[in-house]
Copies of this chain bind each other. A is one copy, B any other.
Amino acid sequence: MARANESFMRLSSGYLFPEIARRTKIWQEKHPDAKIMRLGIGNTTEALPPVLVDAMKHKLDLLSDRKTYTGYGDEQGDTELRKALSEYYRKHYGVSVPVSDFFVSDGAKSDAANIQEIFSADSIIAVQDPAYPVYVDSNVAGGHSGCFDNVSGRYAGIVYMAGNAENGFVPVPPSGHVDLIYLCFPNNPTGAVATKKQLKAFVDYAIAEKAVIIFDAAYSEYIETEGIPHTIYEIEGAERCAIEISSFSKSAGFTGVRLGWSIVPETLEVENAPAGTIHRLWNRRQTTFFNGASNIAQAGGLAALGDEGHQACLSLVDYYKGNARIIKEGLESIGLRCYGGTDSPYIWAECRNGMTSWEFFDFLLDKAHVVVTPGSGFGVAGEGYVRVSAYGHREDVEAAVASIKEHIND
Contacts and interface: CB of A to CB of B under 8 A. Distances in A.
Contacts of A289: 109-110, 113-114, 134, 138, 141
A129 to B, nearest CB: 18
A28 interface: no
A295 interface: yes
Given A2-B210, A72-B43, A141 B117 contact: yes
Given A256-B292, A258-B293, A297-B296, A3 B64 contact: no
A258 to B, nearest CB: 5
A66 B47 contact: yes
Contact of A117 (B5, B14, B69, B272): B5
Interface in A88-147: 106-107, 109-110, 113-114, 117-123, 134, 137-138, 141, 143
A291 B258 contact: yes
A43 B71 contact: yes
A60 B297 CA distance: 11
A45 B57 contact: no
Contacts of A119: 2-5
Contacts of A212: 2
Given A47-B64, A72-B43, A292 B258 contact: yes
B288 A118 contact: no
B281 A5 contact: yes
Nearest to A143: B121
Q: Say how many copies of this protein the assembly contains.
A: 2
B273 A9 contact: yes
A294 B291 contact: no
Contacts of A403: none
A46 interface: yes
B14 A290 contact: no
B71 A253 contact: yes
Interface residues of A, number: 84
Contacts of A34: none
Contacts of A63: 47-48, 53, 253, 256-257
Q: Give the most central of A2, A43, A71: most B CB within 10 Å.
A: A2
B56 A60 contact: yes
Contacts of A109: 289-291
A50 interface: yes
B47 A291 contact: no
A44 interface: yes
B53 A60 contact: yes
Nearest to A140: B288
Nearest to A289: B113
Contacts of A121: 5, 143
A69 B53 contact: no
Nearest to A7: B121
B1 A271 contact: yes
Nearest to A134: B288
Interface in A33-51: 41, 43-48, 50
A13 B40 CA distance: 46
Contacts of A107: 291
A93 to B, nearest CB: 25
Given A1-B210, A47-B65, 18 more contacts: A1-B211, A1-B271, A2-B210, A2-B212, A4-B119, A4-B278, A5-B118, A6-B120, A46-B69, A47-B69, A53-B64, A70-B256, A106-B293, A106-B294, A109-B291, A138-B288, A258-B291, A258-B295
Interface of A: 1-6, 8-9, 11, 14, 41, 43-48, 50, 53, 56-57, 60-61, 63-66, 69-73, 106-107, 109-110, 113-114, 117-123, 134, 137-138, 141, 143, 177, 179-180, 209-212, 253, 255-258, 270-273, 277-278, 281, 284-285, 287-297, 391, 393
